[in-house]
A and B are shown apart, each in its own frame.
Chain A
Amino acid sequence: MTRRDLAVIGAGPAGMGAAIEARARGLSVLVLDENAGPGGQVFRAALACGRDPAVAPEIAPGLPLIEAFLACGAEYRPATTLWHLDPEEGVLSLVSGGVATEVAARRVVLATGAQERPVPIPGWTLPGVMGAGAAQIMLKTAGAVPAGRTVLAGQGPLVWLLAVQLARAGAPPLVLETRTVSIASALARAGGGLLAGRRMLAKGLALMAEARRLGVRVVAGVRGLRAEGAGRVERVAWEGGGAPCDTLLLHEGVIPSVHVSRAIGLDHAWDAAQACWRPVTDAFGATSCPRVAVAGDGAGIGGWEAALAAGRLAGLDAARRLGALDEAGFAAAAAGPLAARRAALALRPFLDALYAPPAAILSPHDETIACRCEEVTAGAIRRAARIGATGPNQMKAYLRCGMGPCQGRLCGPTVAALIAEARGIAPEAVPPLRPRAPYKPITVGALAATAAPAQQGVA
């Protein structure tokens, strides 16, 4: 079995930061990532799209980072999926190109990033309805834009960024903003932070100004959004309005991807400001499991600059724990990333307050599908919760939600919120869904090939 000092899951800003720091202290490092290239979501396909004027300004800061990562001496395995992690032994079970392998690591950093919050509105299963992130992926990986009438509905920084990028690419969307919180009340709730976060705030305001300059139309205060059409989305409707639509892009912010951190049983805490769970970590990413750290958006949403700093800290902490860096050296090296993370997070309380997801998104109306895989409505989940499905794990037996191919990645947050509502308890009082291995489907053939050496002579 291959052995490494440090294994990093995910080659986004956090994973790259961890690898660079750990390599600089002489650790042997393996970085694996499901995607074909490094960069994570934010710098996805950066090497291919860095010269596309639609996305180039936002990709530019990622290019030197990717270059430093590729030169740092870490073993980098793209297109590789983690399907099981034994946190006690530090054994990672991987599959790549249909071939399964195992790696043992003295320390493991999960840098699995974020996913878009599910946006269960009526009609969201119609073809042509996608996440805003999906359209951005089409733009970054293929240079492609939606053809026809595009509606971008939701709220948050990505809405403005994507509106601008699509407009630069010649496909400006109609923006339906679903924000319910006023700037004044977000300011009141967030307290300070604006001064320290003024660089980020200026970036956001510049994006909004660019959207207006490029002729992006915006409808504010949209409520009761629904997608309509026969066999595909043809129209969107909201309270007091409607518009023809060929592609509907939804976005209500992002949440940590907790699939692996939950599966290995790490402690998690409810983040009320972001209405999501996050693994409990110390300042350097260390978790309730002595061998495992979590860094970046997977430990709480902060954006790529905070993620990079957190990754660097987790890499330094790995070096310290494995004896490659003494306390004085650690303190000296950690000061920079700690300050960078503080600066990057300064605006976050304001953003969290301003873009708080509306209640109707967290717990949708009865007739809306909550679990896309098994096609279960919110109403069915509420009824099951009332008659005794006390948590998502029980809900599997009642309605199968969480047992489809997504394994609860997408429906998990909605199912938990509906259970909380139906039982009249706080969201954090709902027991968590415990994902099982394989984290992603693996063929029996690949599995048998891994097991073969161990089984020899048993017959």
Chain B
Amino acid sequence: MFRPRPEARPATVSVLVEGRAVAVPEGASAAAAMLLAGLIATRESAVSGAPRGPLCLMGVCFDCLAEIDGVPNRQACMVPVAPGMRILRQRGAREALR
């Protein structure tokens, strides 16, 4: 779990993480938004269904796969937040966790 430092980055964007509105700093990724929203496990693994969270945040590990604006299997760490973006956790290979 991460906490923002508004003194360093005051400008925010409002996104929906699991349906809940969260204000996250401009320039953050969708994966960062999930971490800032208090999610620790951001998806379930494809084989055993074990909880997972982002590992690298730089496009290498694919452990941040999420459903963003209705499109599953997106590397959430490579997608910058935009106002109103809808971000959902992902179960297994591609089913959203609802």
Q: Which residues of A contact B (CB under 8 A)?
A: 34-36, 41, 45, 48-49, 52-54, 79, 115-116, 125-131, 133-134, 137-138, 141-148, 169-170, 231-232, 246-247, 257, 372-375, 404-406, 409-410, 440-441, 443
Taking a contact as CB atoms under 8 Å apart, the answer to whether A48 and B26 are in contact is yes
Taking a contact as CB atoms under 8 Å apart, the answer to whether B51 and A127 are in contact is yes
With A54-B8, A125-B50, A127-B40: A142-B73 Cβ-Cβ less than 8 Å = no
**Interface residue? B21 (CB, 8 A):** no
Taking a contact as CB atoms under 8 Å apart, the answer to whether B58 and A138 are in contact is no
Interface hits, B1-46 → A, CB 8 Å: 1-6, 8-9, 24-29, 32, 35-36, 40-42, 45-46
Taking a contact as CB atoms under 8 Å apart, the answer to whether B2 and A133 are in contact is no
Taking a contact as CB atoms under 8 Å apart, the answer to whether B27 and A45 are in contact is yes
How far apart are B48's CB and chain A's nearest CB, in angstroms? 6
**Interface residue? B85 (CB, 8 A):** no
Q: State the CA gap A246–B1 with chains docked (Å).
A: 8
Most chain B beta carbons < 10 A, residue from A48, A127, A129, A440: A127
How far apart are B42's CB and chain A's nearest CB, in angstroms? 7
Instruction: Select one of B29, B36, B62 contacting A373, CB under 8 A.
Output: B62
With A144-B2, A145-B2, A169-B8: A410-B61 Cβ-Cβ less than 8 Å = yes
With A127-B51, A375-B45, A405-B65: A144-B36 Cβ-Cβ less than 8 Å = yes
Count of A-B contacts judged by CB separation below 8 Å? 147
Taking a contact as CB atoms under 8 Å apart, the answer to whether B2 and A146 are in contact is yes
Q: State the CA gap A14–B41 with chains docked (Å).
A: 35
Q: State the CA gap A35–B25 with chains docked (Å).
A: 17
Taking a contact as CB atoms under 8 Å apart, the answer to whether B8 and A143 are in contact is yes
Show 27 A/B contacts (Cβ-Cβ < 8 Å), sorted by A.
Answer: A34-B59, A36-B27, A48-B26, A115-B60, A116-B56, A116-B60, A125-B52, A127-B52, A128-B1, A133-B56, A134-B54, A138-B32, A141-B27, A142-B25, A142-B28, A143-B25, A144-B25, A144-B36, A145-B2, A145-B3, A147-B3, A169-B8, A372-B52, A374-B46, A374-B47, A405-B65, A410-B60
Taking a contact as CB atoms under 8 Å apart, the answer to whether B9 and A129 are in contact is no
Residues of B within 8 A of A127 (CB): 40-42, 51-53
Residues of B within 8 A of A405 (CB): 62, 65, 73
Residues of A within 8 A of B97 (CB): none
Closest residue of B by beta carbon distance from A373: B62
Taking a contact as CB atoms under 8 Å apart, the answer to whether A143 and B5 are in contact is yes
Secondary structure call for the B interface? loop
Interface size class of B (residues with CB under 8 A): 35 or more
Residues of B within 8 A of A169 (CB): 5, 8
Residues of A within 8 A of B1 (CB): 128, 146-148, 246-247
Closest residue of A by beta carbon distance from B7: A143
Taking a contact as CB atoms under 8 Å apart, the answer to whether B60 and A130 are in contact is no
Taking a contact as CB atoms under 8 Å apart, the answer to whether B57 and A144 are in contact is no
Taking a contact as CB atoms under 8 Å apart, the answer to whether A128 and B46 are in contact is no
Taking a contact as CB atoms under 8 Å apart, the answer to whether B5 and A133 are in contact is no
Residues of A within 8 A of B53 (CB): 127-130, 232
Taking a contact as CB atoms under 8 Å apart, the answer to whether B58 and A134 are in contact is yes
How far apart are A4's CB and chain B's nearest CB, in angstroms? 24
Q: State the CA gap A399–B41 with chains docked (Å).
A: 25
Q: State the CA gap A68–B70 with chains docked (Å).
A: 39
Q: State the CA gap A131–B59 with chains docked (Å).
A: 12
Taking a contact as CB atoms under 8 Å apart, the answer to whether A52 and B9 are in contact is yes
Residues of B within 8 A of A36 (CB): 27, 80
Taking a contact as CB atoms under 8 Å apart, the answer to whether B56 and A141 are in contact is no
Q: State the CA gap A128–B53 with chains docked (Å).
A: 7
Closest residue of A by beta carbon distance from B65: A405
Q: State the CA gap A169–B9 with chains docked (Å).
A: 12
With A232-B51, A372-B55, A373-B46: A144-B61 Cβ-Cβ less than 8 Å = no
Q: State the CA gap A443–B73 with chains docked (Å).
A: 10
With A127-B41, A127-B52: A144-B28 Cβ-Cβ less than 8 Å = yes
Closest residue of A by beta carbon distance from B45: A375
With A127-B40, A127-B53: A143-B62 Cβ-Cβ less than 8 Å = no
Closest residue of B by beta carbon distance from A81: B78
Instruction: Select one of B36, B47, B55 contacting A129, CB under 8 A.
Output: B55
Residues of A within 8 A of B46 (CB): 373-374, 404
Residues of B within 8 A of A35 (CB): 78
Taking a contact as CB atoms under 8 Å apart, the answer to whether A138 and B35 are in contact is yes
Taking a contact as CB atoms under 8 Å apart, the answer to whether B27 and A232 are in contact is no
**Interface residue? B63 (CB, 8 A):** yes
